[in-house]
Structure 1
């Protein structure tokens, strides 16, 4: 995992909160001071909270569960797509599809529809359609890709949700709460941290701040995935050794049997 330096967080502007009049009093424990009508976040607390969140995310990744990233605000979209995609995790950067978690079966059907259109194009069925039908199918495929393309590999509910701006993504938060899916989030001074299991007090508006936090988070997920890979390789190595040993024992037994048979003859 990337080492969290308070100096780096400061340079990325992670400490800038919202206007004091827009604050949520529940964020008081994470606020260091007020300057020019703006709340300043205590970066030592941010640093401790990042470490806590990253340790948990690394464990989830190592267990083989997916972490769904949610960020539909303009300045976070591309960063989330890059960082989550880089560690092979699903993400939503367009509009949140209502029922994405609580009605997961329907969402999976839509993803399967996308796959069936792809199959039609491969096996030639698509070419047998009329020009108008082909156009409709293409439009449908493009729409599905835009909204759900990044979650096409998510075959079951995620092990956790990572959200940038919990106020904006309140529907996603509600759905995760209903299903007891742990929520990790960048929480600014205008939001209620009680809605989140793992709070990272930080500026969720500036792209530099979002980039910094997500780089650290993605790095810890990569660590978890590498741990999982190493464990699997270790298991495979052990089972291969057992298999080799068994074969040797069988070969020795077969040789003995052959020798015994010859002697008897």
Structure 2
């Protein structure tokens, strides 16, 4: 049994790509043709790559590794959240924080600062810190 069928992809309109003038040449192997200024995606290759992705994710999760589900488009938000929660994984279904993967050290410092501020607020040392800074 296949994970995704070509019929299902065709019915959901997955084969419609971007406008021919707005494309990345690295996508050329996955473009079947162009019609009316729109690229038509090769669904055979899509099914093949989806199966490869499925197998890789299945292997990772069987090893106990975590997966980050990402889908920020309005139509995908509910499904992303539902499936991530169902599988006890992480998800981002709203705005993607810039630099989350490529600038992790800076993001990590911001998270540490936020945790420090939250702890200060919880034990009321936040007010003392603000008053001390105002006096200086």
TM-score by length of 1: 0.39
Deviates more, 1:72-81 or 1:25-34: 72-81
Alpha-carbon separation, structure 2, partners of 1:37 and 1:99: 33
Determine the structure 1 residue equivalent to 2:134: none
CA apart distance, 1:26 = 1.3
CA RMSD of aligned residues (A): 2.8
Determine the structure 2 residue equivalent to 1:15: 15
Determine the structure 1 residue equivalent to 2:97: 97
Larger radius of gyration: 1
Q: Which stretches in structure 1 are left out of the alignment for 5+ residues? A: 134-265
Determine the structure 1 residue equivalent to 2:29: 29
Alpha-carbon separation, structure 2, partners of 1:74 and 1:29: 28
Determine the structure 2 residue equivalent to 1:55: 55
Deviates more, 1:33-42 or 1:94-103: 94-103
TM-score by length of 2: 0.71
Determine the structure 1 residue equivalent to 2:130: none
- 1:202-255: CA deviations, max 9, x gaps? xxxxxxxxxxxxxxxxxxxxxxxxxxxxxxxxxxxxxxxxxxxxxxxxxxxxxx
Give the length in aligned residue pairs. 119
CA apart distance, 1:108 = 6.2
Alpha-carbon separation, structure 2, partners of 1:92 and 1:111: 20
Alpha-carbon separation, structure 1, partners of 2:116 and 2:50: 36
Determine the structure 2 residue equivalent to 1:85: 85
Determine the structure 2 residue equivalent to 1:231: none
Determine the structure 2 residue equivalent to 1:6: 6
CA apart distance, 1:16 = 0.7
Alpha-carbon separation, structure 2, partners of 1:90 and 1:27: 28
- 1:49-89: CA deviations, max 9, x gaps? 01111111111111111111222232322221122222111
Alpha-carbon separation, structure 2, partners of 1:89 and 1:112: 26
Q: 1:19 to 1:108 in 2, by over 3 A?
A: same
CA apart distance, 1:109 = 6.7
